[in-house]
Amino acid sequence: MNDSPRRKELTRQAAQLFVQEGFDRTTVRMLAQEMGIKSGSLFHHFRDKQEILAAVIEEGTQNALMIARDALDNCDSNPEARLHAMARAHLETLLTDRNAHVVALYEWRRLDPEARDHLGHLRDAYETLWEEVLDEALAADLIRGDRFLVSRFVMGALNWTVRWYDPRGERSPEDLARELIAMITHPAR
């Protein structure tokens, strides 16, 4: 539709509800209430409920991509540092912001085919970034295994944190990143 600041703010609020309740359980009335408007007014900003989901997922993936690129640009160039930067960036978008990126990962299946098609390249760009960093780690013998499987196992371990992580606990996303890297890397010999 458009990408006014207003729409951006509404998208941000929708993301929070989608994480809390799940997309299917979130009604347009709940969304409108969260936004401080009536449900009818919502459809001035979004064509339908699907479009809200697409906006959230686009926002979440774009944001994750940006933060990951930033982190990679500002860390040491050795494979371990890059791996750690990538994992930390991923966890921070999932656990600190706790919003749009979670929706992108957990509600992807709810996108209709057209939206999935339109957003596929964004998702691919993010996954490619991961695969590059993992390729470097594999080439340096920091990790061992099949590239495809390693990337999926690592992403799984990271993405599942959403289910158990307690932000009020004593572990930071950075702690988690460090521990995961320690678990899967073979120290220099």
Partner DNA sequence: GTCTATAGTCTGATAGAC
Partner DNA sequence: GTCTATCAGACTATAGAC
Say how many residues touch DNA, by CB under 7 A.
19
Residue 33 contacts DNA per CB under 7 A: no
Residue 8 contacts DNA per CB under 7 A: no
Interface with a copy of itself in residues 21-80 (CB under 8 A): 22, 24-25
Dist CA 144 CA 134 (whole Å): 10
Residue 39 contacts DNA per CB under 7 A: yes
The string of DSSP letters for 112-130 reads -HHHHHHHHHHHHHHHHHH
Nearest to 52 by CA among 76, 16, 79, 77: 16
Amino acid letter at 132?
A: E
Neighbouring residues of 152: CB distance < 8 A, sequence distance ≥ 6: none
Residue 176 contacts a copy of itself per CB under 8 A: yes
C-beta closer to DNA: residue 43 or 160 = 43
Interface with a copy of itself in residues 78-137 (CB under 8 A): 109
The Cβ of residue 161 has, within 10 Å, a number of other Cβ atoms equal to 16
Name the one range near a copy of itself by CB under 8 A: 30-38, 64-72, 111-119, 172-180.
172-180
Backbone angles phi, psi at 13, to 5 degrees: -70, -35
Q: Which of 34, 37, 62, 108 binds DNA (CB under 7 A)?
A: 37
C-beta closer to DNA: residue 46 or 126 = 46
Residue 186 contacts a copy of itself per CB under 8 A: yes
Task: Measure Cα distances from 56 to 20, 62, 135 in Å.
Answer: 14, 10, 30
- CB burial class (10 A; 0-12, 13-18, 19+) of residue 183? exposed
Q: Which residues bind DNA (CB under 7 A)?
A: 4, 6, 26-29, 32, 37-41, 43-45, 47-50
Q: Which residues bind a copy of itself (CB under 8 A)?
A: 22, 24-25, 109, 143-146, 149-150, 152-161, 163-164, 171, 176, 179-180, 182-184, 186
